[in-house]
Structure 1
């Protein structure tokens, strides 16, 4: 089986209502998340940047994405947790350009890390999901919102268009963007993704596959970030970026794999107390 790669960089709240016009030409989606473009400002208001201070010096670097699921909790991938010491992490909400202060940001220290008990470090087993409890609540400022989540057990049909967002590499081995990226990405239903030509047994029913067209995918630095899908009248976070192919982020028949949020709702709500 092809090697997997963690899509991880190593170094009053309101709700969305109607979908924006995100129709763009193919030319504008060439070469950037991989295959995307600069995100529409103030669109993905639940998107978080998880940042890590490797040497405990006060200098933080983006390592993963996340989604604000309550005023005190951010959902991310379990494999984004490099240390169980909460003091090494911070979360930035309302972020757009990582290297420019724009007055929209709220930065919070992390007070507690909660990793799914089924996480073993093996991506093919799954359970790649975690919660970060913030040191203080995030407040609504017009640039930050809570993520809506899917219904328990909800799945999406093959070809359903969702959006992947993040500050991950623009290509395998390429550069990381300053500005949040977005790209439309089609869902690949489980029966297809679990076939031998695709991810085979590495794709579990607790996961969502999207992409695999050789054009659009997540890449290193997008881990933990949302797969956003417009369902039932709202943008809902259906997935958490988990893994992709090690050889090339946007390989044909090797889509980005996400932890399926609807599979873990009971656990999520039980922890956010």
Structure 2
């Protein structure tokens, strides 16, 4: 049986990774709220004629996003963005030089996986207290059931609702694969190369695509464990249909090789 789903198109120390100078507020976020400005300093806005997706700064001149986000020929990324409606001062706008989509991505089959792309920037981002790269997980690492992670982005506040203008964050506990792949959950659409997180009232929504699923490690650093990929076609907040993310730990070799060759 084919499940209806939709991809989510929408619309530290400075020298290290995963250590925000402005720590995120993680005390009371359940169904989502405005993020503390610059507390997710690796979050970027991917824009062509208008903002389309999110993404993650993983090196001064490299951004990770979802393959399904790449639909135009020309892009820029905006770093240190918070309020889309206001020029606040610290924003950095950098053009994309190369767009490299995973070779096994099939745009006709989002649930087949491999929804990941890398963007090489024309210039290096200036790293500071508001712009910092995220850490990447170790190859093959996995997260335990109910592990607390956070999705961030400017997507719709709920299915059919308004687009956020200020960066939002929401707590999305991980749903382990053995649960997410049950027949009354995502079934065969849940691959081991994906991370399921959230569900019911907690989810990403249209416009959050490509953005990070950030999880804090035991070392205190934040690791981007997922790239926002798709939700159920019936709505962002559908019970037993957690948000699906590309599992970054499954693609570390491809990420490393791509960055080394380009």
Please tell me the TM-score bracket, short chain as reference: over 0.9
TM-score scaled by structure 2? 0.93
Residues 83-140 of structure 1 show CA distances to partners (whole Å, capped at 9, x for unaligned) of 3x2xx21100111011211111100011110000010111111000000111100011
Does the CA contact (< 8 Å) of 2:25 and 2:35 recur in 1? no
Q: 1:134 aligns with which of 118, 121, 131?
A: 121
Q: Distance in 2 between matches of 1:190 and 1:133?
A: 32
Distance 2:240 2:69 in 1: 25
The CA distance in 2 between the partners of 1:182 and 1:131, in whole Å, is 23
1:45-80 CA distance string (max 9 Å, x none): 000000012xxxxxxx11100000111110000000
**In the alignment, which residue of structure 1 is the partner of 2:38?**
42
Q: Paired residue for 2:236, among 224, 249, 254?
A: 249
- Displacement of 1:141 in angstroms is 2.6
* Correspondence list, 1:1-273, <5 A: 1-10=2-11, 13-17=15-19, 20-24=24-28, 29=30, 35-53=31-49, 61-83=50-72, 85=73, 88-121=74-107, 122-212=109-199, 214-233=200-219, 234-273=221-260
Tell me, yes or no, if the aligned pair for 2:215 and 2:223 is still in contact at 8 Å: yes
In the alignment, the residues of structure 1 paired with residue 159 and residue 25 of structure 2 have an alpha-carbon distance, to the nearest angstrom, of: 29
Contact 2:25/2:36 (8 A) holds in 1: no
User: Residue by residue, what CA displacement relative to the aligned partner does 1:164-220 show, whole Å, maximum 9, x if unpaired?
Assistant: 0000000101100110000111100001111101000001000000012x1110100
Aligned residues: 253
**SS of alignment partner, residue 174 of structure 2:** strand
Q: Following TM superposition, where does structure 1 have runs of at least 4 consecutive aligned residues deviating by more than 6 angstroms?
A: none
Secondary structure of the structure 2 residue equivalent to 1:96: coil
Shift in Å at residue 21 of structure 1? 4.9
SS of the residue aligned with 1:124? helix
**In the alignment, is the contact (CA less than 8 A) between 1:13 and 1:139 conserved in 2?**
no
How much has 1:246 moved relative to structure 2?
A: 1.3
Note the residue ranges of structure 2 that are not aligned, 5 or more in a row: none
- Alpha-carbon distance in 2 for matches of 1:125, 1:21: 34
Q: Secondary structure at the match of 2:111?
A: coil
Q: What SS class does the counterpart of residue 201 from structure 1 fall into? A: helix
Q: CA RMSD in A?
A: 1.4
- TM-score, normalisation: structure 1: 0.89
The alignment partner of 2:110 has SS state of coil
Q: Distance in 1 between matches of 2:42 and 2:15?
A: 10
Q: Where does the alignment leave 5 or more consecutive residues of structure 1 unmatched?
A: 30-34, 54-60
**C-alpha distance in 2, partners of 1:125/1:262?**
17
Contact 1:15 1:148 (C-alpha < 8 Å) held by counterparts: yes
CA–CA separation in structure 2 for the residues paired with 1:171 and 1:184: 15
